[in-house]
Every structure is written in structure tokens, then in C-alpha cells.
Amino acid sequence: MDKIQLTINGTEAITENTFEVLNPATEELAAACPQADAKMLEQAIGSANQAFPGWSGLTHADRKARMLLIADLLEEHMEELAGILTLESGKPLNGFGGVGSMFEVGGAIEWCRVTAEIELPVEVVQDNDDARVEVHHKPLGVVASITPWNFPLMIALWHIIPALLTGNTVVVKPSEYTPLATLKFVELANTVLPPGVLNSVAGDGSLGAQMSSHRDVQKIAFTGSSQTGKKIMQSAAGNLKRLTLELGGNDAAIVLPDVDANDVAPKLVGVSLINSGQVCAAAKRLYVHADIYDEVCAAMVQVAESTTMGNGMEEVDFGPIQNKAQFDKVCELAEAARREGGRFLTGGAPLAGMGYFFPPTLVADLDNGSRLVDEEPFGPIVPIIKYSDVDEVIARANNSSAGLGGSIWSNDIAKAEELAQRLQCGTVWINNHAMVQPNAPFGGVKESGMGVAFGSHGLEEFTSIQTVIRNKA
């Protein structure tokens, strides 16, 4: 792969140190990534601060045109970026249900183009003989973007594009596990952006801590764990930074007894094991009615056992878990499920050989109170839980500190919509799960976050409101 660089003020930032980025499929070195230090981060934030007046002073149409050019660059370099993503994240180029590295780059392109078309017009709330009152959306300043390792490029775009479109400047720090594609993207984007508008740094969590407490950063956009999100919230209090926190989820999918088991099983496998389960809004707890429980379990086993797992550069359905720490957690939760009486229908133990491979694992006969049900595994292991009473299962689904997404599966749409309103989560799908789109707001409640992304609601997160009152009397 080409040289990896950090970009500050539109040019390559030379670092003294590097850190290793491993290929999780082989546990071999994928690249040596430049490592920023505290001084370099100060330079990046300073550069973004200096660029802010000029960038925010452009018209919305000017900034929109640059966002569309960025989308064109992504499309032009799609295969290159997808290859880098597979190398660093392990996900297949295509993958089960077509969700792989090519899908991620394609999603980034789509989000870029759709978001670029969204505007926040001036709202006139009063215009009479007394006064004209207008509400304007103003950019905040420097936005710090801190991104995770599961969809590193697409989530970076989710942060960066709305921030830039609304007139802010950005410093992005990708996860130290998967920095490569994001750094390459920032390098490409700087060919069509003014210097300092978009800057990149890379390194461990100490950089993120410095970003979240820095007085010249006006907003943090963070996607990651609830534990880290709480720390960021505390650090951001110094200058009352704006926050958009998209945090962990433990989504419940409730399957009603009127569905066809053979029809719903492939869909349930897809939405729970998507990206080897490494999706914040994947279905992580499957509650299936007792009348069809055995049928659904059997049909899901048939689908799961037909899939393939291996190096993402090959034609496989699933790749490895991205890093050793997460791999160890999945192994630990599998052992806990075994001790707690879980019946393993598929998988259950890591594959032999190199790489962080854990096969698609379906576990029956657990309930709330077991670790695999109560904790987010963020891996290819899913509990299938039997229930009989709908009111009771809604209560069990809501009995969680997480509240990102949920779903109802039924042929009775009216019934599904009524139950959906009772779930305590930011997004509810009916007969689907984990499918987000750029024009619909997405965010969590409870400990799954604050604020939303996407659509006009997401765009507003990167602005402040200024009310202009012109007296006429």
C-alpha cells in the first residue's frame, strides 16, 4: 500500500514515531502508522482554528460543491480504500449480504452526497407590524472527531461531512486499530479543501483525552463505548463543548409467533451477525416466541452453517474479530454462556490457527441475567431467548442500560407498530434491523448516547442557534 501520512494544515506532518497496525486475519504487520504527539495535536487544532473564519465565511453552495468533490474522490479511489479497509479491519471485500469493505466505501459515498443536499434554511418565526424574528444556524468552530474501528471510514464521514458542510473545521483521530483508510481519505480530501479545514492525527487514547479537554475544540463527535463516552463528557465540561455521542448498544429483536421461520431466519442471521457482529446497532438479543422457537433456531442454524469465514481478501462471508482485546471478550462471554447453561447450536470456540477468528455462534436457552444477554458482545455470538408473553418480553427488552435500537418482526404491521412505540430505544425497525440511512436521524437513549446523526436533525448538531430580532414598531 502507499505511504500513510498525517495531514495538518493541508500538508504531510512528519512524525518521529510510528505504531504498528496489525492485520487481524493474519496477526501480521499491515503498516507502520505515523504517531502524533501532544505538540502535533496542538498544531492540528491550531490549524483548524485559523482556517475556521475563511471556511465558515464561504456560502453553503461553495461548501456543498466541495463535499460533492470529496464524494467523487471516494468513488475514484473506491477499490484502493476498500482494500485498505480489509487489510486493517479484516472485513471481507464483499461479505455476507454484501456488507463488506466495498459496501463501507459505497456507504461513505452515499452519505457524502445525500448530506451535501441538506440545508438548514433561515426560519422566520414572526413577521408582523411589530417585528421580524429569524432563527439562523451558525457553525461552532473546531470539531474533534474520534472514530471507532468497526466501520472506520464510513463513521469518519458521518462526523466530518456534516461538520464541514455547516462551516466547521475538523481534526479527526481514528482508532489506533484501524487508522489507515481514514488517514488516506483525509489526504485525498485535502486536494479539494483549503489548508487547515480537515486535519488528521493518529495515536492512542491519550490524544482523544487531550482533544476532549482542549479549550479550542468546540464540539466532540464520538462513536464508541459508553465507558469512553462518559469520560469524554466529563473532559468536555471545561468549556461546555457540544457533544454527539453514539455509544454502545445491546439491541433486542422481538420475533412474534405469526412469522414464517424459514423466511425470517436468514434475515435474523444477517442483522445479528453483520460485520461478524461488530456493529453497534446489530441485533444482539433475539427474543423468539415459544410457538416458533425451535423452528427459528433450526432454520438459523442451517443459514449460519452455510456461511464461510476467512481472510477478507478471499471470497468469504465473514472475517475475523478486529483486535485481540475484543476477541478475548467474545471468548470470555462464550465460556460464561456455557457455564450458565447456554445450549450452543453452532460455533462456540475460536478457530485454530492465526487470526482472531471466532465462528458464527448461536446460543439457545439463556435469559436475562446471563452475561451474554446482559452485555454487548460486539462479536459473532448471539443469544436466542424464548418468551411466551408479549408484555413480559417488552419489559425484558427494555431492562437494559442501553437504548440504541430495537426491532419487531411480525406480519401484523399494526401490532408491530404498536409494540415498537413501547421499546425504549432511539430507532425501531419493523421486519428489519441495523439498517441506517442518511436522511433519517439515528441516535441512542439511556447509556447509548446523546444527540443524533443524519438528516437535518444530524446537521443541526454541528450548529448553534442565533435568533435575530428586528423591531419594526
Catalytic residues: 246, 280
Residues facing 132 on adjacent strands: 127, 470
And the C-alpha cell for 158?
458521518
What distance in Å separates the CA atoms of residue 112 and residue 127, rounded to the nearest whole number? Answer: 35
Instruction: Please provide residue 437's backbone torsions phi and psi, each rounded to the nearest 5 degrees.
Output: -145, 155
Alpha-carbon gap, residue 92 to 307, rounded angstroms = 13
Closest among 320, 297, 296, 317 to 306, alpha carbons compared = 317
Rounded alpha-carbon distances, angstroms, from residue 146 to 109, 204, 228? 20, 11, 11
- Spatial CB neighbours of 153, under 8 Å, sequence gap ≥ 6: 81, 85, 104, 105, 108, 181, 182, 185
Residues 6+ apart with CB under 8 A from 380: 273, 276, 277, 318, 321, 330, 347, 358, 359, 360, 361
Residue 302's identity, in one-letter code, is Q
Burial of 229-246, coded b for 16+ CB within 10 Å and e otherwise, reads: beebbebbeeeebbbbbb
